[in-house]
């Protein structure tokens, strides 16, 4: 047990490598190479799994080619993906999952799961690891979605006659884990952001309505600036420390997940009406199928062909625009959002001033600030500028006469929210 130590300069440099490696063409190549340079006697790669079954294996380009060739003669040379592992070779993973389940950012240590003798008894070891000359390993789960997960792993090269610092490598991965998870999300968010702009052009061209993309387990994958502010306020949508989304009312959270299940079956958008402390909100939930970046091979295996869910926040019918949405989208202060909502509802500055016991000039100054932030020149233009919120709300009731007439042809059938 060696236990290598790291100074602040080393860690700062490595953290920079993490964020660069998440975005490079062969994801994690430079990080794997850097770590194996620091810890001689280890072989590094990334893998993806569905439960105990292998989906793919990827290595840094040109790194440990001899070991790579002995892994599988039927590998795809172009993208270095290993698939169709015979079921008899899944025995090690199957046992491992009964003893140590992968968690996002968690470190999987084979030495904590298997003795040397047990490890060497598995078909996977005998037919794959032993011919490569590798043994005990550590893996960091950097992406998890349902039964699928991906790891960056490092195995001891038993045939290399150097002392292996297994514990030191474990300590380093533990320190880097939050940054690797964050860098993975950043790389994924950049890709999903481009796709969401293409997929939902009608919304995003008009105004950046709050948008949050999550998977079927409710784990947030991406949110635009307004969506992030909506979550940060926490009055309607919330995000746990583990990244799972929920609504303020637990019953509404159940209904949201019912929507996910309904969309998984029908692949059509649906709507959900909720209440928060600032008033009613309408959520549009739409299927979102990402085409993951070909460079992020492990991420592609985790999320490709799986439905993600885009959640937009808006306002129902003729209801007053929720002031919280105005804060999220336009950066209005709480007072400005309240004034804006009242102006759109037909109140004049004089009426607002009398109702709130303020000088009319004070209210007019607030109105002027609202106009500047929304980007319009007159109060009459506010309703049109905020109409996008009602387009989102139309998913809950497409026949609402305040939104569209049936002849408009914008919706071919009524979309119903799930049964309560």
Backbone angles phi, psi at 354, to 5 degrees: -65, -45
Instruction: Say yes or no: 140 and 219 in one domain.
Output: no
Q: How many domains does the chain have?
A: 2
CA distance 216 to 109: 28
- Does some domain include residue 1? no
Instruction: Say yes or no: 16 and 128 in one domain.
Output: yes
Instruction: Say yes or no: 267 and 397 in one domain.
Output: yes
Q: Token pair for residue 147? A: 């039964």
Instruction: Say yes or no: 214 and 265 in one domain.
Output: yes
CA distance 361 to 358: 8
Instruction: Say yes or no: 171 and 60 in one domain.
Output: yes
pTM here?
0.54
- Does some domain include residue 134? yes
Instruction: Say yes or no: 64 and 96 in one domain.
Output: yes
- How far from 320 is each of 279, 281, 290, 315, 325, CA to CA, in Å? 8, 10, 34, 7, 11
Q: Give the residue numbers spanning the domain of 71.
A: 8-188
Instruction: Say yes or no: 284 and 152 in one domain.
Output: no
H helices within 282-393, ranges in order? 297-303, 323-330, 334-344, 349-356, 360-374, 382-385, 387-393
Q: Per-residue confidence of the chain (420 residues) as pLDDT tens digits?
A: 455 677 777 788 888 889 888 877 778 888 999 999 999 999 898 888 888 887 777 654 433 333 444 444 444 444 444 445 677 888 998 999 899 888 889 999 999 999 999 999 999 999 888 988 899 999 999 988 778 888 999 999 988 888 899 999 999 999 999 999 888 877 776 666 555 555 554 444 444 678 888 888 898 887 888 888 899 988 889 999 888 999 988 999 999 999 898 888 777 778 888 888 888 888 888 887 655 455 556 665 666 556 788 888 888 766 678 888 889 888 899 999 999 988 888 889 999 999 999 999 999 999 999 999 988 888 888 877 777 677 666 555 444 443 333 333 332 222 333 333
- Does some domain include residue 381? no
CB atoms within 10 A of CB 346: 9
CA distance 133 to 195: 43
Boundary residue ending a domain (155, 188, 221): 188
Q: Could you give the 3-state DSSP secondary structure of residue 326?
A: helix
Backbone angles phi, psi at 293, to 5 degrees: -55, 135
Please, which residues bridge with residue 271 across strands?
A: 284
Q: What is the CATH number of the domain that holds 300?
A: 3.30.450.20
- Does some domain include residue 286? yes
CA distance 210 to 206: 12
- Does some domain include residue 370? no
Q: What is the CATH number of the domain that holds 95?
A: 3.30.450
């Amino acid at each position: 047990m060696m236990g290598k130590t790291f100074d602040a300069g080393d860690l700062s440099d490595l953290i920079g490598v993490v964020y660069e490696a998440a975005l490079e063409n062969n994801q994690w190549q430079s990080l794997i190479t850097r770590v194996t340079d620091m810890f001689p006697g280890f072989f590094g790669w990334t893998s993806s799994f569905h439960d105990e079954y292998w989906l793919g294996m990827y290595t840094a380009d040109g790194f440990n080619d001899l070991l790579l060739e002995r892994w599988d003669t039927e590998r795809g040379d172009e993208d270095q993906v290993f698939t169709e592992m015979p079921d008899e070779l899944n025995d090690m993973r199957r046992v491992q999952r009964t003893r140590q389940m992968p968690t996002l950012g968690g470190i999987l240590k084979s030495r904590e799961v298997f003795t040397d003798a047990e490890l060497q008894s598995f078909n996977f070891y005998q037919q794959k690891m032993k011919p490569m000359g590798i043994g005990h390993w550590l893996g960091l789960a950097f992406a998890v979605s349902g039964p699928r997960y991906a790891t960056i792993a490092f195995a001891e090269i038993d045939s290399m006659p150097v002392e292996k610092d297994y514990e030191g490598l474990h300590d380093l991965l533990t320190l880097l884990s939050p940054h690797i998870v964050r860098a993975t999300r950043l790389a994924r968010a950049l890709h999903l952001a481009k796709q969401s702009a293409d997929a939902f052009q009608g919304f995003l061209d008009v105004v950046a309505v709050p948008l949050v993309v999550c998977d079927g387990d409710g784990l947030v994958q991406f949110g635009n600036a307004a969506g992030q502010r909506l979550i940060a306020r926490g009055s309607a949508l919330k995000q746990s420390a583990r990244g799972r989304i929920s609504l303020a009312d637990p019953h509404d959270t159940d209904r949201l997940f019912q929507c996910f299940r309904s969309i998984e079956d029908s692949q059509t958008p649906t709507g959900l009406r909720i209440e928060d402390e600032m008033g009613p909100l309408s959520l549009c939930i739409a299927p979102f199928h990402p085409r993951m970046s070909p460079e992020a091979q492990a991420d592609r295996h985790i999320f490709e062909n799986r439905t993600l869910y885009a959640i937009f926040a808006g306002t129902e019918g003729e209801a007053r625009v929720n002031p919280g949405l105005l804060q999220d989208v336009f950066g209005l202060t709480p007072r400005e959002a309240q004034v804006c909502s009242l102006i759109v509802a037909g109140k004049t500055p004089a009426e607002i001033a009398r109702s709130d016991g303020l000088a009319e000039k004070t209210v007019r100054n607030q109105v002027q600030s609202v106009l500047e932030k929304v980007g319009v020149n007159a109060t009459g233009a506010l309703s049109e500028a905020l109409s996008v919120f009602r387009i989102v709300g139309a998913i809950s009731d497409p026949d609402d006469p305040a939104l569209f007439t049936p002849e408009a042809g914008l919706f071919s059938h009524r979309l119903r929210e799930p049964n309560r």
